[in-house]
Amino acid sequence: MPENAPIIEARRLTRSFGGFVAVNNVDIQISPGTIHALIGPNGAGKSTLFNLLTKFLSPSSGHIFFKGRDITGMAPADIARLGLVRSFQISSVFPHLSAHENVRVALQAREHETFSFWKSNTCLRRFDDEASALLESVGLSDKAGALASELSYGRKRALELATTLALEPEVLLLDEPMAGMGTEDIGRTADLIRRVGKGRTVLMVEHNLGVVADLSDTITVLRRGEVIAEGSYAEVSANSEVRQAYMGASHV
């Protein structure tokens, strides 16, 4: 496969709910090593498209490719093993384990060593060291011993990112990473995404256009289930159809 071939590609992707077409014949290509955002007004079909691309929903028709391989019929767990890992699901963190233990569990899961009580101390030590390094990379070193349930909202999401990074994903899929965050957490999370996005591909749905402008290499704008524009923030924000789509929308 050529180096700049899309890492994720959808062709004529469509999803209907009853008679309603939420995603309509969408073609999209995600280039490797880029941060790519899906935006659009409420009800545009962003979450549906994201859920299709991450295999949480099945398409009514169309195809999804990961590194040129058709993954349309594959289960999410199988595509996660290929390197496509969805993050920012609060439920993926165990509330009664410490931040450090949460990351260690994810590292053990990666190596299918969930039942590692019989492992040597040296082996467990390796997970400990790796867990500490991951916590440091998301700025949580000082919270290593804190229970996940005691972390602030923004830090919980940083912990989720650490547990996702433990799986060594090639593609990070972020569903509204800034949702529910205050200004300070937004700034910190944006820095974090930029940092962990280096050398990876990031696909995110995000409502905060300031963050989208700041982080994204490419933006795809949806409206009523269809792609109406794609390009850099400067390009899409100058597009008259995009401006029209956002007029009167509550979150711009």
Residues that bind ligand ATP (CB under 6 A): 17, 20, 22, 40, 42-48
CB of 110 to ligand ATP, least distance (A): 30
Tell whether the torsion through CA atoms of 114, 115, 120 and 124 is positive or negative.
positive
Distance CA 179, CA 186 (A): 9
> Which run of H or of E encompasses 109?
helix 99-110
183-222 burial, b if ≥16 CB within 10 A, otherwise e? eebbebbbebbeebbeebbbbbbbbbbebbeebbbbbbbb
Smallest distance, ligand ATP to C-beta of residue 251, A: 8
For ligand ATP, the closer CB: 98 or 220? 220
Lookup: tokens for 14: 């469509």
Nearer to ligand ATP, 123 or 179 (CB): 179
Q: How far is the CB of 48 from ligand ATP (least distance, A)?
A: 3
Least distance from C-beta 40 to ligand ATP, angstroms?
Answer: 5
- Residue closer to ligand ATP by CB (options 40, 197) is 40
Q: Are strands 201-205 and 171-175 parallel, antiparallel or unpaired?
A: parallel
Instruction: Give me the least distance between CB of 189 and ligand ATP, in Å please.
Output: 19
Nearest-angstrom CA–CA distance, 26 and 15: 10
The three-state secondary structure class of 217 is: coil
Nearer to ligand ATP, 32 or 43 (CB): 43
Please report how close the Cβ of residue 28 comes to ligand ATP at its closest, in angstroms: 14
Beta bridge pairs of residue 17: 20
What are the tokens at 91? 């439920």
Shorter beta-carbon distance to ligand ATP: residue 12 or 195 = 12
Q: How far is the CB of 252 from ligand ATP (least distance, A)?
A: 11
Residues 6+ apart with CB under 8 A from 231: 218, 219, 239
Where would I find the beta strands (DSSP E) of the chain? 8-17, 20-30, 35-39, 61-66, 69-70, 84-87, 171-175, 201-205, 218-223, 226-231
Choose between 5 and 249: whose C-beta lies nearer to ligand ATP. 249
- The smaller minimum CB distance to ligand ATP, of residues 7 and 205, is found at 205
